[in-house]
């Protein structure tokens, strides 16, 4: 598979010089909360010493703050117990204090009091003003999305879901952020990610709420997103999201190109899960070692090599048109079929069919692409053997089959990221329906799973952050749980019972248990984890539903 991935690497390098520059509007955003200014209360003074305090009644919860102090005279040797000094002017009259790690959380209705003692110059005790800057959140807004006038009426705004899912991937970016960054609470991070001999491995996506970069799920996510774009480009065009989407998948593709450092060498991971999971904070502030790992001829990894080849091939198709897994055979089938699409060389289709595994598919995930292979093999060969496997797979997945269902109608494959598996198979159902396999039945089933995630469930809540009714507010995601830079962030933010300061727009959380029970709790990573692979097939499936709506082909699923 290294030869295959090298071929696509060369194709992408050649084509890269012809890529148009993707332009997006730069949105300049500022803090949402108004600053609050009070006078220092002088508690006492003696000789040239003083004691004073600033008190701020709070109208909202805060998780981080900055205190700017202007004194009437020069002061020095200030002792206080709530913050760390961020700035002191040379004349000793202006100070900036940032809260300590354990002093950032304060509830609405309480008073934030900062008491201090110090030394003043001259004969008159100081007066002072203090301005409290709430660093909890930001004023990030999402531009109104374009909804095509000709679109069939839908229960949910699919165009808005597309827009916000793309924003989620922008929040996952690692490396030097572009000038058009739309996520105000994100900055440059992991700028020293490198391989042997200092090879540049900056960029790509952080995998989930943590900060490891895993090549296999990242490449899988790129492939799934590209697949949906290739099949349902009109959905992105008419919702005004095409350029954002192209910019979105170009980011990880550029990183994957960097990872292919030699013909038989591919870097597949940056960061170590142990130290990384022992850190709760922003990627911008990471200080732990970030080792890199690669596969070679002597240390092979056909699964990740195959998926990376598939991602490169899918990326090539897109732009010319405008951790190890448990098994690797499905990855070679997957890579072969994508290489065939990119090159039209029959040998790759033969490779895909050689690695085809017959029977009902377990599901679809970064660890198992068998169902995706069925759909694409049938598309390009029209061999009924692959169609029969698709039919058998959905016989198992639909009600009455072998897959259990929650009382509210969620196909429940596994508890960890339950929604992911349901919507992943929803995508395959939409692809199969487009190939003429039970179109109404498969589309209606897919709609039931996607709509469950969007709000049609016993809790009557959306499971997409920042979308719909009562969406999750506490996803298990470090960066969005932190206050604005430069306020510190640590484990207090992880255990904070309030909402995340920043809305992680578009992120699909893991979801409920098999009884439709869900609690919006950041500490419950089974139900509240978010990840690049969770959103990949989900976003593509939403694009499929949007395109059906644009074509007025959504089925009436009530009859």
Catalytic residue among 51, 388, 520, 524: 520
Catalytic residue among 210, 330, 434, 529: 529
DSSP string, 330-399: HHHHHHHHHHHHHH--HHHHHHHHHT---S-----BTTB-HHHHHHHHHHHH--HHHHHHHHHHHHHHST
Cβ neighbours, 10 Å, residue 59: 12
Q: Is 520 marked active-site?
A: yes
DSSP letter (8 states) at residue 411: B
Q: Which residues contact 260 (CB under 8 A, 6 or more apart)?
A: 5, 6, 9, 266, 308
Cα 217 to Cα 362: distance, rounded to the nearest angstrom:
18
Distances (CA, A) of 459 to 5, 91, 380, 455: 45, 59, 41, 8
Q: Which residue has the tokens 């440059």?
A: 188
Distances (CA, A) of 105 to 30, 31, 32: 21, 17, 17
Structure tokens at 233: 């480009």
Task: List, in sequence order, every residue forming a beta bridge with 96; answer none if it has no partner.
Answer: 68, 87
Q: Is 529 marked active-site?
A: yes
Q: Which residues contact 202 (CB under 8 A, 6 or more apart)?
A: 174, 175, 176, 190, 191, 192, 193, 194, 255, 258
8 A C-beta contact, residue 360 and residue 401: no
8 A C-beta contact, residue 449 and residue 538: no
Catalytic residue among 476, 477, 493, 502: 476
Q: Is 476 marked active-site?
A: yes
Evaluated on CA atoms 81, 83, 86, 90, the torsion sign reads negative
Cα 172 to Cα 531: distance, rounded to the nearest angstrom:
9
Cα 269 to Cα 427: distance, rounded to the nearest angstrom:
27
- Please identify every residue annotated as catalytic: 476, 520, 529
């Amino acid at each position: 598979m290294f030869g295959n991935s090298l071929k696509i690497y060369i194709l992408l390098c050649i084509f890269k010089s012809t890529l148009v520059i993707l332009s997006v509007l730069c949105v300049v955003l500022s803090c949402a909360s108004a600053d609050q200014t009070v006078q220092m209360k002088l508690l006492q003074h003696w000789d040239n010493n003083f004691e004073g305090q600033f008190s701020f009644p709070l109208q909202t919860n805060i998780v981080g703050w900055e205190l700017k102090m202007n004194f009437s005279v020069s002061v020095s040797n200030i002792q206080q117990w709530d913050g760390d000094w961020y700035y002191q002017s040379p004349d000793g009259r202006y100070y900036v204090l940032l809260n300590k790690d354990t002093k950032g959380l304060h509830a609405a209705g309480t008073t934030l009091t900062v008491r201090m003692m110090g030394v003043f110059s001259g004969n008159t005790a100081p007066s002072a003003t203090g301005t409290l800057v709430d660093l909890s959140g930001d004023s990030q807004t999402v531009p109104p999305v374009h909804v095509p006038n000709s679109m069939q009426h839908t229960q949910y705004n699919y165009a808005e879901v597309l827009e916000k899912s793309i924003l989620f991937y922008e929040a996952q970016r690692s490396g030097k952020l572009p000038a058009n960054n739309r996520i105000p609470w994100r900055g440059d991070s992991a700028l020293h990610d490198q391989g042997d001999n200092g090879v540049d491995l900056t960029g790509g996506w952080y995998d989930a709420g943590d900060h490891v970069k895993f090549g296999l799920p990242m490449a899988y996510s790129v492939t799934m997103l590209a697949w949906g774009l290739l099949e349902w480009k009109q959905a992105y065009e008419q919702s005004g999201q095409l350029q954002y989407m192209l910019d979105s998948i170009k980011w990880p593709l550029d990183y994957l190109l960097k990872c292919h450092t030699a013909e038989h060498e591919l870097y597949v991971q940056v960061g170590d899960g142990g130290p990384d999971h022992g850190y709760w904070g922003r990627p911008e502030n990471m200080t732990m070692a970030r080792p890199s790992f690669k596969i070679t001829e002597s240390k092979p990894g056909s699964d990740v090599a195959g998926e990376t080849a598939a991602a490169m091939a899918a990326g090539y198709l897109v732009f010319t048109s405008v951790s190890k897994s448990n098994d690797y055979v499905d990855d070679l089938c997957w890579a072969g079929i994508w290489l065939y699409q990119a090159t039209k060389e029959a040998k790759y289709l033969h490779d895909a069919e050689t690695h085809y595994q017959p029977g009902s598919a377990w599901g679809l995930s970064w660890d198992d692409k068998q169902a995706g292979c069925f759909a694409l093999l049938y598309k390009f060969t029209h061999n009924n053997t692959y169609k029969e496997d698709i039919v058998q797979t959905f016989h198992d997945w639909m009600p009455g089959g072998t897959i259990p269902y929650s009382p509210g109608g969620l196909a429940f494959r596994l508890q960890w990221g339950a929604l992911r598996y349901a919507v992943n198979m929803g995508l395959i159902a939409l692809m199969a329906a487009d190939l003429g396999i039970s179109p109404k039945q498969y589309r209606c089933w897919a709609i039931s799973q996607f709509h469950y995630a969007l709000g049609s469930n016993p809790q009557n809540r959306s499971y997409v952050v920042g979308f719909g009714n009562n969406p999750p507010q506490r996803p298990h995601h470090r960066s969005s749980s932190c206050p604005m830079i430069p306020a510190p962030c640590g484990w207090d933010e992880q255990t904070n019972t309030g909402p995340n300061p920043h809305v992680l727009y578009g992120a699909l959380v893991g979801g409920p248990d098999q009884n439709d029970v869900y609690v919006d709790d950041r500490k419950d990573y089974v139900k509240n984890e978010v990840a690049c692979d969770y959103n990949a097939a989900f976003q593509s499936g939403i694009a499929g539903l949007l395109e059906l709506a644009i074509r007025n082909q959504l089925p009436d699923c009530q009859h």
